[in-house]
């Protein structure tokens, strides 16, 4: 009996262990020396104090850079300096580094769009014993003012045009710049020099003594090794962390720092774990957790209270980074009445190594989207993927045979569900050797490619960055002979780890040659079986390593130029996609085809090469719920092209969850269903009706909206505007839009549609907040005149609350076909939704959907369509492509029955009126997108 | 209806008097065309739902006017509608309206791509020829299959007759032996019953019963004790009992169903008993072996592991298929099961096996047992049509999936995984000298 009890206790204990097993693979702040130390500094105020050296302040000859030294309070010689510049109008760069160039700290290269900046004129406006006032750019144009405050601890304020600070650096003196081990190394060097002198003096005794001393000193050498999860990080350079506090004055809401499965507005963290940015492969991640996930964008967007603008800060450091967020209430004397407190946010940035390099993007009042344009000017505008990628993607780990995909190709037609792309996960390769096909299961990939392309469909194949260690494999041999792999800490032997193929190595993407080599492997002759119809999926590029520390590569492995991996970690995935992108461009002789790439790992800048998905999510309601804030956060941090595994990658969704997931996923920029190999099959028809019908309907809605979505993709690639937007971005005056429920669980598509997903089981209606204005129910087309209130909206299983916004024109193609390609020549239906002033506007972009002709030879149509004074008219910005016929124009909310409707040739148009929903339908107006025209309603 | 339609059609713009409906209307079924022929010379037509009336010219004008889509049988303007491919000389087809003029030839006669007339060939004739050929082939296959089935049935029936004869023979033999057994028992009682004294006659009888061979008879002159006779009787008895048992076993083997010559549900497939059939996947990764009336096995050629993916559940074959259930439980999943779909053919073999869903398999097995009679003149029109449509559409029956969600096995698996994980973990820790689990502690101690 005792034995049995013991056994059950044992099992119980194991169960407990099991539950927390995955989380324990990843560090907590307390398990990361530098994070704990910097937090300690904050608690005790024990950090080193640095102050400006006023005499060192100077602007360089070209008036590009302002420099000033920083002196540590317990030292005589300044060892650090601050460099301030403005690389883009309105963007201030603050860089802090060591003056001593002996042991260079790593500075990131190849992530920013360009390193040849067009510097703004730097000028010292005023200077006294307390401060220096700097101005970048001229008074007339967009400029930025920066105030440096002396005192016992340095402080930098970035000012808005009214002279008010929008960000304050080092306000709370949390600045830290660890140099301990370097001190030691320098001392050692000096000792050696002495030793050499001693040799010269031929005094052997002294020498012996010195040797002894040295030995003693070696014994004293602090051990900086850091152990975690059975792995030891040698940390040969010792602690080198950098940290800084940034205050966002008078700001209650700050956003960004993807990727985390938390709510959108960054919560205070000082009670618990900080937000962490360290790209890892995490299975079964939890919601509302600040643990790091697959990608990192160290950007915070601040929304100052009661202002119609956004500011941003980009902490340009790809090493392990933790951020503590806190709220500060300060008393102000300005207001005579009412509450005198002002709420500010503080971010305490802590990075393992590198330098401090910040870009502060200052938005002007009234311009909500300026910050995105600034950030993208720095790191690149989102790429413009081919149009098929805007449609629906079908994936599973794995479609194991060519036949299986051919079968899918038929099945989707049988069930009348449109689809554009079939995905090939790891099993299509020959023994997980990427760039190959398994000849037994995929005997003729080119034939497969042709079969699917006959219906206008595409393929996507997975290519991961782990290279199987197999001496007989030509690709491996090539990489090996060219010494392209990341090295162990000994700098000599290649690092080896365990991944899908077994023992593998990882190419050193920091090496430009490796990037070029990787790209060259995508050429059609080298990548046998690949076609122009096949695009690429980069997974496991954190990099993910099964037996590595925190499921990744050891930090003390070495890249080209003796750079330790810890310096670059978060940017590894970025560089992988960079290589893939360049390779896919070059594989076509004319270099004129747009690639599609999906990546799991990402960093700032990844948006210019790839679409991002949120990794290995789970099939449960909670994960569905938090998908929205994850994608919104990515959009705010400059990565608008994103989506998730619809249905949840792991575990089996029930029918309801699966259907609900499709309903919302159909509105996400990237729309793909994916599932784990151990889950039950869940192609759209598996669940049967009514679920299959609901899924079919969701996919068809997406297809009918493709002209609208494609236009948004184009706009994102030129203006950097997010496609999915929180309501407050579109309605900055509306304080209600900042409410937690509104912000996290409703979103806008561009500024034209509002989607409020159902993410709870058995929910059949939802309270949806509609900001002030006219709204039109997507399903019934009924109008709601909202004064900024919450409405209870029906949401039976068949539909989720979706609204068109009054004042917007949405182009659709109602003839949904088997794939988006087959809809290319179909006519357009314009949905014109009038606002309370009977006005509306929208735009449409059309091109061939796959080439760079729109860029290289201006072959595209971009047309603005507006409604005003009972007149619908166009303004064509460019019309160098085949015009698209308009088959129908629907006008909602005119509140009058027209006598007649005429086009610009005074031709009467056939129309009818449905008074029940205030809809005018104009039949076949004989107009097209690409020509200018106008319609008059009388 | 709260729908109020206002029409402002200027007569100048739409000259109704000139409208004449051309028949047949593109994309309309014969039935629909019949309807159109009635309104051919009218000015207006009503939508199928009877709600709205439009000028005849609105039919197939590539714009969806009727809410029910009935005005556009020949274009893609109305969604969720169908297009009728008449396929003169071949079987008509019905396709979704979304496939009209999309650049892909769907109708056999190419009539769906009427906007680009040269794009599609009219394949009706060729398809008809092919269909006829396929029909012929299919009918031959089925006919041959049925003949094979009859032959096999006769064989098994003959086998049954023979078996019956054998059973009778065996039973006869048992009867005979039983007689001897009774005799022995009687003799034994003579020895054992103390009240009876054996007469000489009886003794001689026993002796003559026992001493069949000359040697024994000779021997009895020297050794003639009652004890030895008793032993002999006993030995003989147990030998006879063994023989009866063997005979009974033999009867069982001949007639496993113990059906007493009645026809049983398995008769059609009786010939498959004690046979087995194997099949290899294209990638040679798996071998599947089908043991009718028993089980289906899957062999993984990589790790040489064999698992049972389904067992016979003693049910009849219905609609040409049969479910073998209760196979080995999947990791993280339900018990494997396999649906066996029978296909008529004169020979028996596995056509294909695939995993249609996680741990659910489908095995297509061709065999005569499923074949049905097709008469020579092939009068059975219904059957013919069924075969024809089967060939034409190559309809693949979608697999329906039952969600077997029982919580218990999940827990069992979690526990099992935890145990495994724990052992792996401890092993790992041993390897790494106190790192891992105790690392946190040691850090703090430092």
CB contacts of B103 in chain A (<8 Å) are: 456, 822
pLDDT for B393 equals: 64
Residue B421 has pLDDT above 60, yes or no: no
pLDDT for B358 equals: 78
pLDDT for A258 equals: 97
CB contacts of B96 in chain A (<8 Å) are: 416
**Cβ separation A910–B13 shorter than 8 A:** yes
A233: β partners: A226
pLDDT for A363 equals: 94
A324: β partners: A348
Q: Could you tell me the pLDDT band of residue B386, with boundaries at 50, 70 and 90?
A: confident
**Distance, in angstroms, between B439 CA and closest chain A CA?**
7
pLDDT for B439 equals: 36
Of all residues in chain B, the one with the smallest CA distance to A403 is B282
pLDDT for A185 equals: 62
A616 is catalytic: yes
pLDDT for A872 equals: 97
CA distance A577 to A321: 22
Residue B215 has pLDDT above 60, yes or no: no
Of all residues in chain B, the one with the smallest CA distance to A28 is B440
CA distance B45 to B66: 11
DSSP states of A387-443 as a string?
Answer: GGGGSEEE--TT--SHHHHHHHHHHHHHTT----EEEE-GGGSBTTBTT---TTT-S
**Cβ separation B104–A680 shorter than 8 A:** no
Question: Nearest 5°: CA angle at A521, between A518 and A525?
Answer: 165
Residue B422 has pLDDT above 70, yes or no: no
| Nearest CB to B63 within list A31, A401, A923 | A923
Where would I find the H helices in A152-252? 180-201, 204-220
pLDDT for B407 equals: 37
A539 is catalytic: yes
User: Which residues are CB-contacts of A569 (< 8 A; sequence separation ≥ 6)?
Assistant: A278, A279, A318, A319, A320, A552, A553, A555
**Cβ separation A913–B357 shorter than 8 A:** no
User: Which residues are CB-contacts of B198 (< 8 A; sequence separation ≥ 6)?
Assistant: B190, B191, B206, B226
pLDDT for B402 equals: 32
CA–CA distances in Å: residue A644 to residues A105, A520, A669: 37, 30, 10
Output DSSP code: residue B428: H
- Nearest CA among B24, B53, B54, B27 for reference residue B37: B24
| Nearest CB to B8 within list A18, A228, A900 | A900
- Nearest CA among A797, A773, A796 for reference residue A784: A773
Cis peptide, bond prior to residue A181, ω within 30 of zero: no
Catalytic residue among A539, A564, A743, A918: A539
Per-residue b or e along A72-97, where b marks 16 or more CB atoms closer than 10 Å to that residue's CB: beeeeebbbbbbbbbbbbbbbbbbbb
CB contacts of A688 in chain B (<8 Å) are: 400
Of all residues in chain B, the one with the smallest CA distance to A683 is B357
What count of other Cβ atoms lies within 10 Å of the Cβ of residue A338? 6
pLDDT for B212 equals: 53
Residue among B358, B411, B441, B444 with most chain A CBs within 10 A, to mutate: B358
**Cβ separation B4–A916 shorter than 8 A:** yes
pLDDT for B106 equals: 93
Of all residues in chain A, the one with the smallest CA distance to B330 is A678
Q: Which residue has the higher pLDDT, A851 or B35?
A: A851
pLDDT for A202 equals: 56
CB contacts of B405 in chain A (<8 Å) are: 652
pLDDT for B282 equals: 80
Q: Could you tell me the pLDDT band of residue B2, with boundaries at 50, 70 and 90?
A: very low
CB contacts of B76 in chain A (<8 Å) are: 815, 817, 826
What count of other Cβ atoms lies within 10 Å of the Cβ of residue A621? 19
Residue B432 has pLDDT above 70, yes or no: no
Mean pLDDT over B136-160 rounds to: 81
CB contacts of B7 in chain A (<8 Å) are: 912
pLDDT for A283 equals: 84
Specify the 3-state DSSP secondary structure of A378.
helix
Residue B226 has pLDDT above 70, yes or no: no
Q: Could you tell me the pLDDT band of residue B284, with boundaries at 50, 70 and 90?
A: confident
CB contacts of B13 in chain A (<8 Å) are: 908, 910
**Cβ separation A822–B418 shorter than 8 A:** no
A847 is catalytic: no
Residue B216 has pLDDT above 60, yes or no: no
Sort residue A785 into left (φ over 0), alpha (ψ -120 to 50) or beta.
Answer: beta
Of all residues in chain B, the one with the smallest CA distance to A915 is B4
Q: Give every residue of chain A whose pLDDT is below 50, as ranges.
A: 1, 6, 9-21, 218-219
Catalytic residue among A352, A376, A616, A887: A616
**Cβ separation A686–B401 shorter than 8 A:** yes
Q: Choose the weakest-confidence range: A433-442, B161-170, B216-225.
A: B216-225
Size of interface A-B (CB pairs under 8 A): 130
| Nearest CB to A401 within list B98, B282, B422 | B282
């Amino acid at each position: 009996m005792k034995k049995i009890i013991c056994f059950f206790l044992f099992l119980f204990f194991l169960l407990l262990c099991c539950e927390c097993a995955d989380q324990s693979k990843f560090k907590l702040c307390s398990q990361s020396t530098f994070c704990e130390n910097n937090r300690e500094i904050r608690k005790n105020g024990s950090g080193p104090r640095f102050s400006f050296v006023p005499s060192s302040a100077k602007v360089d000859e070209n008036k590009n850079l302002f420099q000033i030294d920083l002196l540590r309070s317990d030292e005589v010689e300044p060892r650090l300096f601050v460099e301030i510049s403005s690389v883009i109008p309105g963007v201030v760069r603050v860089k802090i580094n060591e003056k001593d160039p002996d042991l260079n700290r790593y500075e990131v290269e190849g992530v920013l769009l360009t390193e040849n900046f067009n510097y703004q004129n730097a000028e010292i406006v005023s200077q006294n014993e307390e401060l220096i006032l700097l101005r970048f750019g001229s008074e007339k144009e967009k400029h930025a003012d920066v105030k440096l405050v002396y005192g016992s601890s340095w402080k930098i304020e970035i000012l808005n045009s009214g002279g008010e600070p929008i960000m304050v650096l080092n306000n709370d003196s949390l600045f830290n710049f660890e140099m301990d081990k370097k001190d030691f190394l320098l001392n050692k060097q000096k000792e050696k020099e002495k030793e050499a002198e001693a040799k010269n003096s031929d005094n052997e005794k002294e020498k012996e003594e010195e040797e002894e001393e040295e030995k003693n000193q070696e014994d004293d050498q602090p051990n900086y090794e850091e152990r975690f999860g059975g792995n030891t990080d040698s940390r040969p350079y010792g602690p080198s962390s950098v940290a800084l506090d940034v205050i966002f004055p008078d700001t209650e809401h700050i956003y960004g720092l993807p990727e985390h499965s938390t709510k959108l507005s960054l919560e205070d963290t000082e009670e618990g774990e900080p937000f962490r940015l360290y790209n890892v492969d995490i299975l079964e991640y939890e919601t509302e957790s600040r643990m790091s996930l697959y990608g990192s964008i160290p950007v915070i967007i601040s929304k100052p209270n009661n202002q119609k603008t956004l500011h941003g800060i980009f902490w340009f450091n790809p090493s392990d980074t933790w951020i503590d967020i806190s709220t500060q209430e300060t008393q102000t004397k300005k207001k005579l009445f009412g509450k005198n407190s002002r709420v500010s946010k503080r971010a305490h940035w802590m990075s393992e190594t590198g330098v401090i390099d910040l870009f502060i993007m200052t938005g002007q009042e009234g311009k909500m989207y300026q910050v995105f344009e600034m950030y993208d000017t720095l790191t690149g505008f989102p790429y413009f993927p081919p149009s098929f990628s805007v449609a629906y993607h079908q994936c599973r780990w794995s479609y194991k045979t060519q036949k299986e995909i051919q079968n899918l190709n038929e099945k989707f037609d049988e069930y009348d569900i449109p689809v554009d792309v079939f995905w090939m996960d790891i099993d299509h390769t020959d023994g997980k050797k990427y760039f190959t096909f398994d000849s037994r299961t995929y005997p003729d990939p080119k034939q497969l490619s042709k079969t699917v392309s006959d219906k206008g469909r595409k393929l996507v194949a997975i290519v991961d960055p782990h290279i199987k260690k197999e001496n007989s494999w030509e690709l491996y041999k090539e990489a090996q002979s060219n010494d392209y792999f990341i090295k162990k800490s000994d700098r000599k032997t290649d690092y080896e780890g365990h991944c899908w193929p077994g023992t593998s190595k990882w190419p050193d993407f920091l090496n430009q040659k490796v990037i070029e080599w990787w790209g060259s492997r995508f050429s059609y002759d080298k990548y046998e079986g690949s076609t122009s119809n096949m695009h690429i999926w980069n997974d496991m590029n954190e990099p993910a390593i099964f037996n590595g520390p925190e499921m990744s590569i050891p930090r003390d492995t070495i890249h080209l130029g003796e750079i330790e991996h810890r310096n670059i970690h978060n940017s590894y995935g970025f560089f992988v996609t960079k290589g893939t992108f360049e390779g896919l461009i070059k594989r076509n002789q004319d270099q004129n085809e747009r690639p599609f790439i999906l990546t799991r790992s990402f960093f700032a800048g990844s948006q210019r090469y790839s679409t991002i998905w949120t990794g290995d999510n789970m099939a449960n309601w909670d994960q569905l719920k938090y998908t929205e804030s994850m994608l919104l956060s990515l959009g705010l941090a400059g990565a608008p092209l994103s989506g998730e595994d619809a249905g949840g990658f792991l575990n089996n969704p029930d029918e309801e969850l699966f259907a609900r997931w499709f309903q919302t996923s159909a509105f996400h920029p990237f729309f793909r269903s994916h599932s784990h190999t151990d889950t039950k099959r869940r192609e759209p028809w598996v669940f049967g009706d009514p679920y299959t019908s609901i899924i079919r309907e969701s996919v068809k809605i997406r297809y009918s909206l493709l002209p609208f979505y494609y236009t948004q993709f184009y706009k994102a690639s030129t203006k950097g505007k997010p496609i999915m937007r929180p309501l407050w971005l579109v309605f900055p005056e509306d304080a209600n839009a900042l409410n937690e429920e509104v912000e996290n669980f409703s979103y806008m598509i561009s500024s034209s549609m509002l989607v409020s997903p159902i993410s709870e089981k058995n929910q059949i209606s939802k309270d949806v907040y509609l900001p002030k204005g006219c709204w039109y129910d997507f399903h019934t087309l009924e109008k709601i005149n909202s004064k900024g209130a919450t409405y209870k909206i029906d949401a039976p299983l068949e539909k989720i609350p979706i609204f068109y916004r009054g004042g917007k024109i949405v182009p659709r193609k109602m003839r949904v076909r088997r794939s988006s390609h087959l809809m290319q020549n179909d006519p357009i239906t314009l949905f014109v939704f009038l606002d309370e002033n009977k006005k509306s506007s929208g735009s449409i972009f059309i091109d061939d959907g796959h080439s760079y002709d729109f860029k290289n030879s201006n072959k595209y149509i971009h047309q603005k369509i507006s409604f005003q004074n009972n007149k619908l008219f166009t303004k064509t910005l460019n019309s160098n492509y085949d015009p698209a016929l308009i088959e129908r124009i629907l006008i909602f909310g005119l509140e009058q029955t027209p006598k007649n409707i005429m086009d610009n040739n005074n031709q009467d148009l056939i129309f009818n009126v449905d008074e029940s929903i205030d809809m005018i339908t104009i039949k076949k107006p004989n107009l097209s997108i690409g020509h200018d025209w106008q319609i008059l309603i009388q | 209806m709260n729908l109020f339609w206002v029409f402002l059609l200027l007569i100048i713009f739409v000259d109704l008097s000139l409208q004449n409906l051309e028949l047949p209307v593109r994309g309309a079924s014969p039935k629909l065309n019949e309807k159109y022929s009635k309104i051919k010379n009218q000015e207006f037509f009503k939508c199928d739902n009877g709600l709205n009336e439009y000028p005849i010219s609105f039919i197939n004008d590539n714009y969806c006017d009727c809410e029910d889509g009935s005005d556009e049988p020949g274009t893609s303007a109305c969604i969720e509608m169908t297009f009728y491919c008449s396929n003169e000389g071949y079987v008509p087809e019905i396709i979704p309206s979304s496939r009209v003029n999309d650049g892909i030839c769907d109708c056999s006669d190419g009539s769906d791509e009427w906007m680009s007339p040269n794009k599609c060939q009219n394949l009706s004739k060729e398809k008809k020829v092919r269909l006829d050929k396929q029909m012929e082939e299919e009918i031959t296959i089925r006919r041959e299959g049925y003949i094979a089935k009859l032959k096999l049935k006769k064989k098994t029936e003959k086998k049954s007759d023979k078996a019956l004869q054998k059973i009778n023979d065996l039973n006869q033999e048992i009867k005979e032996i039983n007689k001897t057994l009774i005799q022995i028992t009687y003799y034994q009682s003579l020895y054992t019953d103390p009240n009876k004294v054996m007469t000489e006659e009886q003794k001689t009888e026993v002796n003559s019963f026992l001493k069949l061979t000359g040697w024994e008879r000779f021997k009895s002159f020297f050794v003639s004790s009652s004890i030895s006779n008793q032993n002999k009787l006993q030995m003989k008895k147990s030998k006879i009992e063994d023989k009866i048992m063997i005979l009974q076993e033999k009867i069982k083997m001949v007639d496993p169903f113990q059906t007493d010559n009645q026809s049983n549900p398995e008769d059609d497939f009786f010939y498959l008993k004690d046979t087995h059939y194997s099949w290899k996947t294209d990638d040679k990764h798996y071998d599947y072996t089908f043991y009718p009336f028993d089980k289906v096995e899957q062999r993984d050629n990589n790790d040489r592991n064999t698992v049972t993916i389904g067992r016979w559940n003693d049910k009849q074959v219905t609609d040409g298929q049969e479910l073998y259930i209760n196979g080995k439980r999947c990791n993280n999943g339900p018990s494997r099961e396999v649906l066996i779909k029978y296909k008529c053919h004169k020979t028996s073999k596995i056509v294909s096996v695939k995993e249609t869903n996680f741990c659910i398999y489908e095995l297509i097995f061709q065999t005569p047992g499923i074949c049905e009679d097709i008469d020579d003149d092939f009068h059975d029109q219904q059957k013919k049509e069924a075969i024809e449509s089967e060939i034409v559409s190559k309809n693949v029956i979608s697999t329906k999936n039952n969600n077997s969600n029982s919580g218990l096995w999940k827990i069992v698996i979690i526990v099992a995984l935890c145990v495994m994980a724990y052992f792996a973990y401890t092993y790992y820790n041993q390897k790494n000298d106190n790192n891992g689990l105790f690392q946190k502690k040691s850090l703090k101690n430092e």
